[in-house]
Amino acid sequence: MRRLPTTPRTSMTVAIFSLFAVLAAPTAHAAPSPDPAPTAGPARVRALVASIGADRTGGTFYDGDGRLVVAVTDEAAARTVRAQGGTAEVVEHSTDELNSVRTALDRRIADTDPIPNTAWGVDPSTNQVTVSVFDGVSAADRKRLTDLVADYGDKVRVEELPGGIKETAYESLGGIGIVAPYGPTYCTLGFNVRDSSGKRYFVTAGHCASSDEEEFWHREAGGIYFGERTEWWDFGEVEKDYAVIEYVNDDVAAYGAVRAAGATYEITDSRYPDDGESVKRAGAVSSDLVGQVINPSVTFTFPSGKVMKNMIETSHCAKPGDSGGPLWAGTDALGIASATNTPKDASCNSAQSQYRTFFQPVHWVLARYGLSAF
C-alpha cells in the first residue's frame, strides 16, 4: 500500500472521537475366530475404558494409522477391548499410577514453589508423564525438578524445548480503546479487516492518525503494541476520515467482531447503509446500541468551514475518545465514527434523540484497498 497525503488537523467544536454405536454382543457360532464388532466412536470407547477401570487402563490415543487405541495393563483387559471391536495395546503403567505422579508434581512444585517455563501431564501414547522444560528455567530449579522426577523411573520422561511459555495472544476487536503513545491520542478501533492473502489490518478514524509522530498504535488496556499506520486521510482532498493500521505484533489475536456494553457481535461483511435502518455504535468511552440511519450519504460542515461529503448520519450520541469506533447492523460493518454534536460533558445513552453522529463509510475504504471484513 502507498502512504497517502494528509492535511493538518482542523480545529472544531463538533466533538471528535474514535465441539462402538452400541455394540451387540458377538453371536456364538462354530467359527474359531469370529469377526469383532465394528469399531465404534470415541464416546463408546471412553465408556468401555471407564467400565474396565483406571487401575487397568492407561488412557486412549490415536496411533500413526489414525486408529483409536486403548492402553491396558493386562491381556484380559485387552481381550475385552478387542471383543468390542476396539484396538488394544498392553502397557506397563495404569492411568491411576501416572495420575499419582502428576498429582505429586502438582503438590510438591506447582502448589508450593512453581517453576516458570515448565509443564507436565499424562501422555497415554508414551504411557508416561511427560515433563517439558522450556528456556528460562534456572539451574537450581532444573535440578529441583529432575531430582524429584528421578524417583519415578520410567513413569516420567523429561523433554527440553526451546522458547519460553507466554500468553498466546492479546485480544483485539472493534470497539476497544487504542492509543498512539507519542500523542497521546486516544481513539477506538473500528473493524479488523484483511487482504486477499490474509494479512491483518484494522481501520479507525483518519484524524486519529494524522500526525507524523502517531504512526505506532497500542491497545489502551495494557499498552500492547498492535502495529503501524499504512494509509490515512484526515479530512483530505476526498473529504474522507479513515486510517488503515497494519498489525505487526504476532502475539495479537485480531477477531472479526465488535465488543460493546459487555457483549460481542460477530462481523462478517461490509456494505453501505440503508436509510432508516436500525444500527449500533460502539466506542472506547461510550456505546449506543439503539439508533437509526438518518441519512446514508450526508454532507456536513464543521465550524471551521471544512466540508465532509458522503458521510453517514445516525441518531446516536458519542463521546470524545469514541473516534474511529464501529457502526454496524447485524453482521455487517457500516462505518467509522468521525464526529458528533454530543456535548463533551453530556450523558450518552439510547434514550436520547437530539444527538447526531457522523461516520466514514467503511465499505468505501475496504473496496479502495482490496480489504474485507472478517
How far apart CA 172 and CA 253 sit, in angstroms, is 6
SS3 for 173? strand
Give the strand order in the sheet containing 68-72. Answer: 57-62, 68-72, 87-90
Active site residue 207: yes
Residues 6 or more apart whose Cβ sits within 8 Å of residue 162 = 134, 135
Active site residue 241: yes
Number of helices (H), then strands (E), belonging to the chain: the values are 5, 25
Out of 141, 241, 288, 322, the active site residue is 241
How far apart CA 71 and CA 78 sit, in angstroms, is 8
Is the bond preceding 184 in cis, omega lying within 30 degrees of 0? Answer: yes
Residues 6 or more apart whose Cβ sits within 8 Å of residue 65 = none
Q: Are 192 and 255 in contact (CB under 8 A)?
A: yes
Out of 93, 172, 207, 338, the active site residue is 207
Name the pairing type of β-strands 269-270 and 332-340: parallel
Active site residue 18: no
Out of 286, 323, 332, 338, the active site residue is 323
Instruction: Scan for cell 472544531, then name that residue.
Output: 12
Residues acting as catalytic residues? 207, 241, 323
